[in-house]
Structure 1
Amino acid sequence: MKLNIIHQEAIKLVKEVGEFIKEESKSFTTAKVEHKGFNDLVSYVDKEAEKRLVEGLGDILPESGFIAEEGTSNKKGEVYNWIIDPLDGTTNFVHGLPIYSISVALQEDDKIVSGIVLEINRDECFEAVKGSPAQLNGTPISVSKGVDLAQSLIATGFPYNDFDKMDDYLSILKHLMQNSHGLRRFGSAAVDLSYVACGRYEGYFEYNLNAWDVAAGAFIVQQAGGKVSRFNGDNDFIFGREILSCSADIYEELLTILQNQWKHSQ
């Protein structure tokens, strides 16, 4: 199968699984929550959604492997691997906050070639495939242009189980509160990245992340003309546990702030 066909089939599957999650949200209660660790929640919805994604994506590309949050499959592909977060924003889902998503990326060797983020409640499908511009529900999108940091809205994620870098983090927040339009914390890294891609946010940064949180969204940002890196400027953001994503206009300024304040970054 050609990459564009694989991509379109994957979008169709993601939307089907999104309908499953939306339907389950109507009757979900906190009594159905499990704990993987401190403040690290999971439910049967995450697990079933991942199972459906793994089965469907395996049918679309049989030789592919998987890097999936809930560990449904440990199969490793020689060339192709799907990087999957079946429900990014589980805590929001559990509490009935309507900001959560499905994130699916396809990795060819060490490069992402397809990214899909479905924001479930707004029915917004952000997607990109190698060689084509990023799109939202079929319409091309772009990161913000001609906006400096003082005019920017910045997204982040609050620490929830790793507080070792709290002082550095609070120092960054203080600076950005005083030098931007404001900060937002929605609770889904994939949504935050997608909002950078379409210009709703000018920038986003967060640490203590996994590949499935960022792989699809970061690729979509890049295909929308944005810049993505770790806090120290290197490109190992998929597996590097931290990410800076923003428009080209504010990238250097935001990177400098992070480098000056984030003393623990390697």
Structure 2
Amino acid sequence: MSSSTLHPMLNVAIRAARAAGAIINRAALDVEAVRISQKQVNDFVTEVDHASEAAIIETLLTAYPQHAIHAEESGRTHGNQTSDHIWIIDPLDGTTNFIHGFPVYCVSIALSVRGRIEQAVVYDPTRNDLFTATRGRGAYLNERRIRVSKRTQLNQSLIATGFPFRKGDDFPTYLKMMSDVMQRTAGLRRPGAAALDLAYVAAGYTDGYFETGLKPWDVAAGSLLVTEAGGLIGNFTGEAEFIEQQECLAANPRIYGHLVGLLRKYSKFNAASLPAGTPSEPAASDTEEPSEGADQA
């Protein structure tokens, strides 16, 4: 799709993402000179995050001054917070990778309209890869239509994940999840940038992805890429309302069903929905089809 055929708001988001990417690429030439601070243990922010976010917000609000902003670093301090149009921004997803010179990070921008993600951009400045989607119009990588993979067997699938890294994260439970998935798949990968992980599911580079502890700016844009590429996304029980739940599972439709079967028992929403005394075992086998409605994120 050429820029002339894209939705105007998507065009503005692309312009914002590329502006941020230029800032990130310049800083990457001398990453050791970048000033770094720590928000909490193992959770870093750099001057590049702040400069990237400022460039994105300026571009978006210049075009749409009445829209709201929900950004990772500045929160909800910009724009008109009563607007139905909310830009959800991660200016540098994969900051830890960036400060080590590990070239897996991206810019993520999504537009939510009355609670639904309508536009999405995930931009990888190291490869100049631009993933875009408009609701109802498909997902694209550099103007080429993308689709989720066609694999149907979990033992042939490559699955991405993210490791817990914050103080208080439930490491023992994650290790059990990882063990369950690793023993049943062709491989497990941890690239370190959730928005790019979701974009890779959309492009068919991986067959599925799961992670806990994510924020809306980590998953908003990627969620639309996945569904517009024919995939499913939800929480570990397969329910679609996941963006605020810090529990994300995405895959092609058949692999999604398999992963729900494996991961449902680890969902914080599974036990809460069961009558008292009911064991919280997975209700799905490795051959279960995905839940209805799980692509409505």
* Same-fold call, TM cutoff 0.5: yes
Mark the structure with the bigger radius of gyration. 2
Partner of 1:225 in structure 2? 230
Does 2:107 correspond to 1:94? no
Over residues 24-68 of structure 1, what are the superposed CA-to-partner deviations in whole Å (9 max), with x where a residue is unaligned?
111122761101111110011000110110111111222110110
Partner of 1:205 in structure 2? 210
Q: Which amino acid aligns with 1:234?
A: E
8 Å CA contact retained: 2:23, 2:51: no
Does 2:259 correspond to 1:254? yes
SS state at 2:183 partner? helix
Does 2:244 correspond to 1:244? no
Q: How many Å separate the matches in 1 of 2:189 and 2:200? A: 11
Higher mean C-alpha displacement, 117-126 vs 27-36: 27-36
Deviation at 1:145, TM superposition (A): 1.2
* Structure-1-length-normalised TM-score: 0.95
The within-5 A match list for 1:143-222 is 143-222=148-227
Deviation at 1:16, TM superposition (A): 2.1
Q: How many Å separate the matches in 2 of 1:121 and 1:7? A: 21
8 Å CA contact retained: 1:30, 1:94: no
The within-5 A match list for 1:123-138 is 123-138=128-143
Q: How many Å separate the matches in 1 of 2:169 and 2:86? A: 32
Q: How many Å separate the matches in 1 of 2:76 and 2:169? A: 32
Higher mean C-alpha displacement, 117-126 vs 23-32: 23-32
Residue number among 15, 24, 31 corresponding to 1:21 in the alignment: 24
Q: Which amino acid aligns with 1:189?
A: A
Does 2:111 correspond to 1:81? no
Q: How many Å separate the matches in 2 of 1:30 and 1:170? A: 36
Partner of 1:36 in structure 2? 39
Q: How many Å separate the matches in 2 of 1:41 and 1:236? A: 28
8 Å CA contact retained: 2:151, 2:255: no
Deviation at 1:125, TM superposition (A): 0.5
Instruction: Name the CA shift for 1:146/1:57 in 2 (closer, same or farther; >3 Å).
Output: same
Structure 2 residue runs of 5 or longer lacking an equivalent are 273-297
Deviation at 1:118, TM superposition (A): 0.3
Deviation at 1:175, TM superposition (A): 1.7
Instruction: Name the CA shift for 1:77/1:124 in 2 (closer, same or farther; >3 Å).
Output: farther
Residue number among 7, 13, 37 corresponding to 1:4 in the alignment: 7
Deviation at 1:162, TM superposition (A): 4.3
Deviation at 1:177, TM superposition (A): 1.5
Deviation at 1:9, TM superposition (A): 2.1
Partner of 1:114 in structure 2? 119
SS state at 2:25 partner? helix
Runs of 4+ in 1 over 4 A off after TM superposition: 262-266
SS state at 2:31 partner? coil
Q: How many Å separate the matches in 1 of 2:6 and 2:230? A: 21
Partner of 1:62 in structure 2? 65
Instruction: Name the CA shift for 1:220/1:237 in 2 (closer, same or farther; >3 Å).
Output: same
Q: How many Å separate the matches in 2 of 1:85 and 1:11? A: 14
Deviation at 1:3, TM superposition (A): 8.0
Instruction: Name the CA shift for 1:30/1:234 in 2 (closer, same or farther; >3 Å).
Output: farther
SS state at 2:199 partner? helix
SS state at 1:144 partner? coil
Higher mean C-alpha displacement, 186-195 vs 256-265: 256-265
Q: Which amino acid aligns with 2:174?
A: Y
* Structure-2-length-normalised TM-score: 0.85
Q: How many Å separate the matches in 2 of 1:113 and 1:185? A: 28
Deviation at 1:231, TM superposition (A): 1.3
Q: Which amino acid aligns with 1:26?
A: L
Deviation at 1:233, TM superposition (A): 2.1
Q: How many Å separate the matches in 1 of 2:268 and 2:173? A: 7
